[in-house]
Each structure stands twice: as structure tokens, then as C-alpha cells.
Structure 1
Amino acid sequence: MEENMNYEEEMQNEEERRVDRPVPPIAPEGGAPVYPGPDANIPVPPIAPEGGRPVDPGFTFPDNPWENIPETPIAPEGGRPVAPGPFPSFPGPIRPNRPGTCQVRFLNAATNNLPLNISIGNRMAASNLRFGNISSYETISDGFRPVTIVSAVGPRMVFYNQTLPFVAGEKITMVVIDSSNGLDLVRVSDLGCQNMPRNTGCFRMANMSYNNSAYDLMLYGGDVVFTDVRFKEVTPFKQARPGEYEFYMTNTARYGNVLREIPVIIITNARPPFNSGEPLLSFVTTINAGEMYTAYVIGNTWSAFNLRIVMVQN
């Protein structure tokens, strides 16, 4: 009885030893037995099938996991922090930007008594434009473009034909003026005064009348807004409080260059008499907050196209 119990215990111990013992791999049919070696429990990377692509063995943790992490850029001394942006990223195929555009309009300040047609390349930019009129903005692709000015009535006469640059992002007024060769163009940028303070407008003056002219622009209260504005000159914008303003314009020669301009235009109710006689012209305009205005002086003093102000909102 005791011998049977010893035999059963011995058989049980033998079964436990077999559980912990590695099982030798079985050779494939027709092949030789494979010795597992000391690293039997280390997984073997998969082998690509014949004619196939390698099989990804899966993720393996690097020895130093912090080695390839990009560093956040440091701002230069006294500079602003630099955003690191997304990382990592791959730009992919690089495509060229689409051509940019600009906005262009035309003001007719020429005193030749003929309406004008103005084209940019093959596109009509202004049609039947008469003295003192201004066209709407047209969107033009950037680059060098031929600009042609011809008469809109009667026999087709070409007054201007030149190739001019147009830059993406520009917003300009092209003023047609008289010249010794017929007509010419003055380019005026309409992008000034973009950072005006709240509850103010902007105002400037442009002299497009005739050669050798120079004007002063004043308020009826006597404050000088702009002085000695020469032919083809465009003044900088000045801040103006919203409201209705009354201006008058004189020749600069009446005062010389001793007048001082006010930095900000403010409404005044004073009505002093003119110490220099009658002004060349006077006008009333309303300036609204957040808007930009240009007072264009056009015409002359010896023809039917007398001096006048064309007030344009940019």
C-alpha cells in the first residue's frame, strides 16, 4: 500500500517537471530538427515571404526616448516668443500661389473737353469718363499691364499708351492730368490711414490742377489744415473729428511758408472775415468716423474748367 502511494507521488512530480520544461520545436515535414538554443523565449522577427515586402516587426522602444523630440525655439533677447508650430509635419507637394490682384480706379482731371475710355490690357477699366468724374474700383491681376487712354467720342485719338506695374495688394487711384505731351497719369495710393483711432476719420488733399500751382487749405476759423500743396502732390492723412466742416483754399503765395498746420482737424464755429480777400474756392463736407476722404483740386483759372474740389471717399 505504501509502495503504491510512493509511486503516485513520483508520477505527480514527474508531471510537474514536464510542465516547466521547454518543448523542443518540431521539424517541418522533410526537414531537420531545429535547436532552440539559449534564446528560445526571444521572439524571432518575421521573415518576408518569397517575393514579398518585409514585415514590420512592430514597435520597439528606443534606448533614449527623448533623443528625437524637437526643442521649442527660444526668443532672441528682447524679442517676442516664437511659436514652435506643429511638429513634426511634412509639407507635401509645394504648389505655386495664385496670382495676386490689386484695385484700380481712374479720376479724370484733364481739361481737354473730351470724355475718355481707359483700358488696362484688353479690359475696359473706365468708359466715357468726363472731367471731374471718377470710376469704380476694378480688380486687376498683378504684373506689368499696358494702359491706354483714348477719346470716347469722335475719331479715335490715343492720348496715352504706356506699360505700368500693378502690385498685388495695392489700392490706387490713377488721376488723368494735363501735360505738355497730351495726358499723363498720377498714381495715388488709397491704403493710408489704416490705423485711425476710434471715433475719428481721415482727411487729405491732392493738387491735380495745373503746373506751378500751390495752395493752402484752411478752416473758416482760420486754422491751417495744409499749406503749400504743390502740383501733383498728395498730402499725408490727418485725423479729423466727425462732423461737418467748411474749408476755403487760397494761393500759397499770399501767405508764404510761415503758416503752421494743425495736427488734428477739429470743427470750429468761428467766422472771421478773410484777411486776404476772397478765397479761390470754398466747400463744405461731412467727415464720418472710420472713413477716409481725399479732396482733389482739379481745373484751372483761365478756362471753362474752373478750379473745383472733387471729394472722394476711399
Structure 2
Amino acid sequence: MSDQVSIAPVLGAPAARPWHKAAIGCAVAAACAAPLLAGPSLMSTASAILVLGLFAMSMTFLFGFAGLPIIGHAVFRGIGAYIAAVLSIRWSTNLFVILFLAVLGAALAGFLFALVALRARQLQLMMTSIAFVGLIKALAEQLTGITGGDDGLSGIPPFHLAIAGTGLDVTLDTPVTLYLTTLIVVGLSYVAMRVLLASPFGQLVVAVRDNETRVRAIGIVPRHILNVWVSIASAFAGAAGALHVMLYNFVAPSILSLSACVTGLIMMVIGGDRKLMGGMVGAAVLFLVQDELYSITRHWSLILGLLLIVFVLATKGGIVGTVERLWRRSTSPECRR
């Protein structure tokens, strides 16, 4: 009977609901129309939100779908950012080359980290990830010949979108080109995440989160599965780091700080920790609210903290989860009567 053990009860991604499809459709339409309707300032803001959203979604990959409390996940975004910066200064400004190597480097770092850290779980894993953040940040501050030390790397040249033999060579130095490039990379990343989550491998990761004992009972070693999942999530974070460098032409050790990790965690919680799109929603809300409060008062951080406390206590499942519950209630048979 042991070989008949099934993990079906803990597998299965929910089918896309009508409001999900409508919301995603509206978001895609608005994103595509932005270059025609918005000015340079709004496009720069949208680009920044997209990059933060990609990072938050990669964090949701670990926390929400795998149940791994790797708070120091921002370190992989920082690794991708530093790889992109060093490559663009010393070797090539080709976006394809930079993005590929930044993603590869972050994925490798994530895999090596997982090999060691996933021997622990819960609180121990959380503390190990925090210690890893301190280690990498210290290296970034001390390797001044490579990373620029505390001052970081500035004067990074604009990236180029170039394909050999086609004559294509576009300099990514205007709000429109930066926005469209960011939108394409983030959009493809989102699609890749959805495909992974819907795949048997992604469902197996969710099964490990929900019932690790049952997964072990069918002869699968959960740690091997999670090692690969951490590497994939780190790759998406590395892509966010490369896009960060493309947008700002600057990188500093602060991108590796624990504060950056907590910011990613806050974005995920605001949007919904078990909703992939929640990371993007949380990034948009946090960015816009923080920017507005900063322009109003110098005590913006205190007000933001109080708002976050009230929000977490008043909602369950973040913004996306709350909207989903309201939609279910409004479409339930009881409400239609």
C-alpha cells in the first residue's frame, strides 16, 4: 500500500478566476498604453515599481509557495546587480549578456546557499539567511577594487539592446526604452513563474510546503526539490538586480542590506504572501505611499510603520487575498438571491 500513497490532496494550483483574468488583462493593457499616455516621470516610476515587483514576486516564490522563511533573499538581487554593474563597466553593455550572466550568477549563489542552509528549517533557516546577508554585504564593502566599497559603483554606462548580425543596437537611456525593456523582462518573468507554479515540479514544491511527510513517504527527498526552487527564485531576484542597475546606473552595498530584505517582505505581505501578483501589487502600493508620505512630512517612516501595522491587523491575505474573498462573496449563490 505504501507505493499507493498519493500527494494529490496537497497538489493543484487554483484555476484562474474570471476576476483574475480581467485584472491581468487590464494591467497588461494599461502597461502597454503607458508610453503613449504617460510622461517620462510616470514611466520612470512605473519602471521602478516593475523592478521592485519582480523582486517581491521572487520572494513570494520562497515564502508563499515553498514556505521557506529566507528573509535574506535580497542578497541574490544584490549579487545580480553587482554582476551586471561590473560586467557593464569592464566587459560588455549588451543587455542579453548582462542579464544572462546576472541571472546565472544569482541562481548559482542561491543553489550553493540552499545546499548549506536548507539543512536547517524555520527559525534556524531564517537566522542563517540573515547571517548570509551580513557576509555578502561585508564582502561588497571590503572588495573595493571590484565593488567600489562603501561608495558603490557609479558612472555605469547605459545598457545596449544588441543582436549580432541583425544591425539591432538600441541604447537604453531614455524613459521609454527603459520602461519597455523592463516591462518585457518582468512580463516574461511573470509568465515563467506562472508556468513553473502550474507544472508538476511547482505543484510538488507546494506539496512539500503543505505535507512534507507525505512527500517523503513516496520516496522524494524534499531538500533536493527545495534546493532547485531556491536557485530558481534567486535567478528571478538576480534579474531584478540587473534591471535595477539598468535603471539607475548605480549600485551600492545598501542593496544587500537587511533593510532591503525587510522591504521585500513588506511588499509581499501587503500584496498577499500566497498570491504571485501580490508581490507586484504590494510593490506599487508601498512605493507610491512611501513617496507620497516623504513629500508631505519628514516623519514619513513613523506614519508608514503605523499604517502597515493597521493594514496587517485589518486584512488577511494581503490586498489580492482580500479582493479575492470579496469577489467570492459577491458571486456566491447567497449574494445572488
**TM superposition score category, shorter chain reference:** under 0.3
* More RCO (CA 8 Å, sep 6+): 2
Q: TM-score, normalised by structure 1?
A: 0.24
Greater strand share, 1 or 2? 1
Q: TM-score, normalised by structure 2?
A: 0.22
Greater helix share, 1 or 2? 2
